[in-house]
């Protein structure tokens, strides 16, 4: 793995320079209202606010050959198929901190990935915390993967944010169970539940001026505290491999990985650390950082040019993976 490739302004590092958001990011931040504090608000209000904000920036859905609702062994899902994309499938887990997000908020990304990758995308409506804490969401993701293996000739797994966590955990589970996956696609994944590491403290302090804005500052830190506490109430379980993949005893033998990060994202460093662990374990990995970008940009087709670039890059990686791995072992 070489140093992460970047879409903008080479050399800008979140650790040692003043925050310099992409101009489209700044415009988005200037127009965005505050989000409810999850520690104080009703979960229904948190979900409604997040849903409205995502749907406002995803843009018009891309046309596809077919979209159908499916039951993946009890997990509600939508199957998106482009023309000719009948043989392979990417199981996709949406983001939302394990507490919000649904099939509608994932629609734009699922359609775009299906078209670019030339394969089916199985977008899953996994159970959410606090009603359903770990391992419910992880179990649903793995159930969908096993369903996909029975119904398609090739399977990859992917997700963004908390969905990236579920995808990475599913890739570890596949390795543990002897199940071959073509690839794992991790978009600004949450991989480390440990609070107050040196870099997290430094990052939080550096972005204090952006507190309360999407993707920046103490608001993000408070949200991370909340979602980890809500998803895994028992602190003793938070370093388990399927909770915090960065802390897995070994990552050797997992599926090849494509990892996409945003420069101004609290989760960037743990994704970089995970990429280094994969490389050290001889797992093929491609890491791309989008300079000036924030957490969540991947789905913001209506306001972020980089969203289109990133989805194209992700879809191309999945397409290549299926070209090199055409069958799944029984």
Of the residues 161, 193, 214, 244, only one is catalytic, namely: 161
Distance, in Å, from the CA atom of 53 to the CA atom of 71, rounded to the nearest integer, reads 28
The DSSP symbol for 245 reads G
Highest mean pLDDT among 131-145, 194-208, 212-226: 131-145
Average pLDDT across the chain, whole number:
89
Asked about 214 being catalytic, the answer comes back as no
Per-residue pLDDT reduced to its tens digit, 285-322: 999 999 989 899 999 999 999 999 999 999 999 999 99
The helix (run of H) or strand (run of E) holding residue 203 is helix 198-206
SS3 state at 71: strand
5-324 to CATH, choices 3.40.50.1820, 3.30.230.30, 1.10.10.60, 3.30.1540.10: 3.40.50.1820
CA dihedral 131, 132, 137, 140 (to 10 degrees): -110
Q: What is the pLDDT of residue 329?
A: 43
Distance, in Å, from the CA atom of 241 to the CA atom of 258, rounded to the nearest integer, reads 19
Of the residues 125, 160, 192, 265, only one is catalytic, namely: 265
State both tokens at 293: 């970008």
Per-residue pLDDT reduced to its tens digit, 40-86: 999 999 999 999 999 999 999 899 999 999 999 999 999 999 988 88
Q: Which of 36-50, 74-88, 170-184, 216-230 comes out lowest in average pLDDT? A: 216-230
Q: What is the pLDDT of residue 218?
A: 47
Confidence of residue 125 (pLDDT cuts 50, 70, 90): very high
Of the residues 22, 100, 264, 295, only one is catalytic, namely: 295
Confidence of residue 209 (pLDDT cuts 50, 70, 90): low
pTM of the model: 0.91
State both tokens at 190: 């949450």
Q: What is the pLDDT of residue 318?
A: 98
Q: What is the pLDDT of residue 12?
A: 41
Q: Which 3-state string (H, E, C) describes 15-31?
A: CCCCCCCCHHHHHHHHH
Length of the chain: 330
Asked about 37 being catalytic, the answer comes back as no
**What residue ranges do the domains of the chain occupy?**
5-324
């Amino acid at each position: 793995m070489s140093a992460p490739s970047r879409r903008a302004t080479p050399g800008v590092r979140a650790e040692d320079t003043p925050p310099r958001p992409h101009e489209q990011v700044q415009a988005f931040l200037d127009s965005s209202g505050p989000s409810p504090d999850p520690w104080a608000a009703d979960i229904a209000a948190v979900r409604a606010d997040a849903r409205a904000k995502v749907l406002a920036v995803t843009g018009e859905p891309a046309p596809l050959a077919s979209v159908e609702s499916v039951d993946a062994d009890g997990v509600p899902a939508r199957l998106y198929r482009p023309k000719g994309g009948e043989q392979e499938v990417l199981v996709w887990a949406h983001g939302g901190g394990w507490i919000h997000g649904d099939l509608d908020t994932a629609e734009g990304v699922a359609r775009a990935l299906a078209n670019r990758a030339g394969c089916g995308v199985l977008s899953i409506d996994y159970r959410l915390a606090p009603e359903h804490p770990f391992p419910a969401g992880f179990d649903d993701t793995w159930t969908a993967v096993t369903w996909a293996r029975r119904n398609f000739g090739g399977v990859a797994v992917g997700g963004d944010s908390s969905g990236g966590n579920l995808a990475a955990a599913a890739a570890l589970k596949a390795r543990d169970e002897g199940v071959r996956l073509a690839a794992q696609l991790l978009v600004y994944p949450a991989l480390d539940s440990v609070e107050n590491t040196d870099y997290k403290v430094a990052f939080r302090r550096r972005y204090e001026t952006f507190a309360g804005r999407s993707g920046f500052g103490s608001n993000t830190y408070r949200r991370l505290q909340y979602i980890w506490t809500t998803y895994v109430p028992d602190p003793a379980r938070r370093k388990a491999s399927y909770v915090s993949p960065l802390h897995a005893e070994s990552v050797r033998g997992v599926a090849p990985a494509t990892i996409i990060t945003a420069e101004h994202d609290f989760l960037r460093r743990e994704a970089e650390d995970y990429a280094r662990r994969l490389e050290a374990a001889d797992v093929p990995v491609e890491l791309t950082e989008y300079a000036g970008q924030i957490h969540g940009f991947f789905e913001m087709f209506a306001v972020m040019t980089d969203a289109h670039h990133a989805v194209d890059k992700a879809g191309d990686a999945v397409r290549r993976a299926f070209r090199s791995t055409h069958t799944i072992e029984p």
